[in-house]
Structure 1
Amino acid sequence: MARPDRRHLLGGLAGAAALALGGCSRIADRREERIESSTPPVGRIMRINGRNVHVWVGGQGPDLVLIHGGASNLRDLVDVLAPRLTDRYRVIAFDRPGHGYTDRASASYEGVNNTRGESPAQQATLLRAAARAMGVDRPIVLGHSVGASVALAWAMKSQDAAAALVLLSGAVMPYDGELPLYYQISATELGNKRAVPLITALTPPRYVEIALARAFAPQSPPQSFLDHSGVDLALRQQTIRAGTQQVRDLPGYLAEMSKRYASLYLPVEIVYGDRDQILPPELQSVPLARAIPNARLTRLRGVGHMPHYAETARVVDAIDRAALRAGVK
């Protein structure tokens, strides 16, 4: 039997690869269906400027907006904070664009051909429009991790956009250094089309557990978080693309935003754990407190990147201080 020439061999390998990737895409789609079936929306879906925005609302009182961090969704903040706040605040929690059940900020960011991440300002614009549609005026805005940059962008829109800010373990200052390879996968169309479906299809539960352990360290993820946070939503293809693109592009946006921090005069409460391995506080929360004139810094000893779980009462105290300082309580 004649041996195949190089052209036929390469063609056969390419065809086999395409079949394998097609199989992974089908597996990824089925996994997404199972994830969404087991983790449906907990709030309502609003239609804002042609975009779906998922919002959870509870309680009465001054408006308090919650904005979650990376690879997460609104359940993260609602489950732990809302029970302690809805007796005296109207708590409004959003899924950020591309996360949970909120669409990307505009149609131009959708699909495998897009390699750009929305800026904090673009994310804040969509969420602020949804808040306005609910009658929200000058809320206290809380942001965790990447969500802290969105909270800052919300307040920087105008002097009366927010009454106060509460920033938890925030990604808020420009930083150097190359991000891990994971955040580069959606920098190219090839990565979007090929690598993302593979991640959705093949990422084992053990990897998710390891990532959560690192995020919570030195604490451990509580069982309530594992049971109710809907962390598997972050394994969907759209969310992987949104999350990696937004984080990859964030340093450039923060470099521009940080030039205006000194112009923020609203009350700002900054809370961080001094054992945070994700966003070192000496590079993020601490210099932010020096940059904003009316900032108050709270250090939580022995706490990692998830202060709202490790020291929930201290975070609630910071929210109440922000409300008092802003004169809305």
Structure 2
Amino acid sequence: MTTAETVLLAAAVMLALLVIGNIGVAKLAERRNPPIGKFLECDGVVLHYIDRGDPAAPCVVLLHGNGSMIQDFTISGLVDLLARSKRVVCFDRPGFGYSQRPRLRIWGAAAQAALLGKALNQLGIRNPVVLGHSWGAFVAMALAVRKDFPIRGLVLASGYYFPTVRWDVWLMSAPAIPVLGDLVSYTVAPIISWAILPAALRKIFAPRAVPQSFKNEFPASLVLRPTQLRAAAEESALLIPTAAEFQTYYSTMGEQVHIFHGIEDQVIERKQARDLHHALSRSDVHLIPNAGHMVTHADLAAIVDAINSMTHS
């Protein structure tokens, strides 16, 4: 065997071991962090969700950001606060947590909204207030512009609404590349993501510290599964094109919209919130001091008040 053949064989063995190891770690993460909600099948896709509060009360639907899952909202306390007087439904969006993300579809915001709209109909929910955080704001707005699913109003938190130059999103998109992305997702991406996760969490919560409850309770090992890393990479790749597409919708959105943004957000500049406020016909903008990208953990009272103002009207 030549030196080149030996090197290639060693590389192949190393890659195989990484793939097997990452699959095993993902299975272990799922055993240690079982689903916290229920499942429903909609349009051939299994979705994981929680349904809390009074079923007869006005409903609030919560949609998490890229890379996250239901626990983002349960750990913040937002679900418990809202459930005191509302019905609260929160989904793992396709590809995150325990919801499926079939590979034969491009899961842009419109596709996710179409699926979730059908799921909400299956649950007997109409006219909810929809809250979307970060990438989830796209899905919330996509629900709002659909003609077949009326909503009561929108709460958009830490969203990205207008295209800008974002080199970071291209760097995070590698696992979405066909074939090569799968190789990256099942080999080096979980290791790299594990190494940078603490810094990433500090950045999204800055200027505040990462809450101890979040450190203790958020199932970070589920985030590092190859399938979820690929879903996150796909949404990173779709970020700028989706913002460009959505600009045509803003002038037609007639629902009341409350826009929340942390003044010190290090992920998405607060100018995005101000510009959306000016583009919409009915909106209020709330710039939260001493808050970053995780504004949904920073001022729960203001968010609940905004939701109450729409459900009581």
User: Following superposition of structure 1 onto structure 2, how do residues 5-44 of structure 1 map, counting pairs within 5 Å?
Assistant: 8-44=2-38
Say whether residues 1:72 and 2:68 are aligned partners. Answer: yes
* TM-aligned CA distance change 1:160 to 1:48, over 3 Å: closer
* Match of residue 300, structure 1, among 271, 281, 288: 288
User: Following superposition of structure 1 onto structure 2, how do residues 97-176 of structure 1 map, counting pairs within 5 Å?
Assistant: 97-104=94-101, 106-109=102-105, 117-158=106-147, 161-176=150-165
Displacement after TM superposition at 1:190 (Å):
4.5
Rounded Cα–Cα distance in structure 1 between residues aligned with 2:247 and 2:169? 23
3-state SS in 2 of match to 1:170? coil
3-state SS in 1 of match to 2:247? helix
Give structure 2 stretches of 5+ with no counterpart: none
Give structure 1 stretches of 5+ with no counterpart: 110-116
Supply the AA of the counterpart residue of 2:280: I
Pairs aligned (count): 310
3-state SS in 1 of match to 2:278? helix
> Is the contact made by 2:193 and 2:224 (CA closer than 8 Å) also made in structure 1?
no
> Is the contact made by 1:69 and 1:144 (CA closer than 8 Å) also made in structure 2?
yes
Supply the AA of the counterpart residue of 1:84: L
More deviation, 312-321/90-99: 312-321
Supply the AA of the counterpart residue of 1:86: A
Q: 1:286-314 CA distances to partner (integer Å, 9 max, x unpaired)?
A: 11111110011011112101112122212
User: Following superposition of structure 1 onto structure 2, how do residues 233-272 of structure 1 map, counting pairs within 5 Å?
Assistant: 233-272=222-261
RMSD, aligned CA: 1.8
> Is the contact made by 2:38 and 2:50 (CA closer than 8 Å) also made in structure 1?
yes
Give % identity. 29
Q: 1:59-97 CA distances to partner (integer Å, 9 max, x unpaired)?
A: 011010000001100110133201111121100000111
* TM-aligned CA distance change 1:204 to 1:266, over 3 Å: closer
Max Rg structure? 1
> Is the contact made by 1:217 and 1:277 (CA closer than 8 Å) also made in structure 2?
yes
Displacement after TM superposition at 1:229 (Å):
2.2
Supply the AA of the counterpart residue of 1:303: A
Q: Which runs of 4 or more aligned residues in structure 1 lie more than 6 Å from their structure 2 counterparts after TM superposition? A: none
* Match of residue 319, structure 1, among 291, 307, 313: 307
* TM-aligned CA distance change 1:107 to 1:188, over 3 Å: closer
Displacement after TM superposition at 1:253 (Å):
2.0
* TM-aligned CA distance change 1:180 to 1:157, over 3 Å: closer
* TM-aligned CA distance change 1:237 to 1:244, over 3 Å: same
Rounded Cα–Cα distance in structure 1 between residues aligned with 2:136 and 2:188? 24
Q: Name the counterpart of 2:206.
A: 217
Say whether residues 1:81 and 2:81 are aligned partners. Answer: no
3-state SS in 2 of match to 1:220? coil
Supply the AA of the counterpart residue of 2:64: H
User: Following superposition of structure 1 onto structure 2, how do residues 36-55 of structure 1 map, counting pairs within 5 Å?
Assistant: 36-55=30-49
Displacement after TM superposition at 1:195 (Å):
1.5
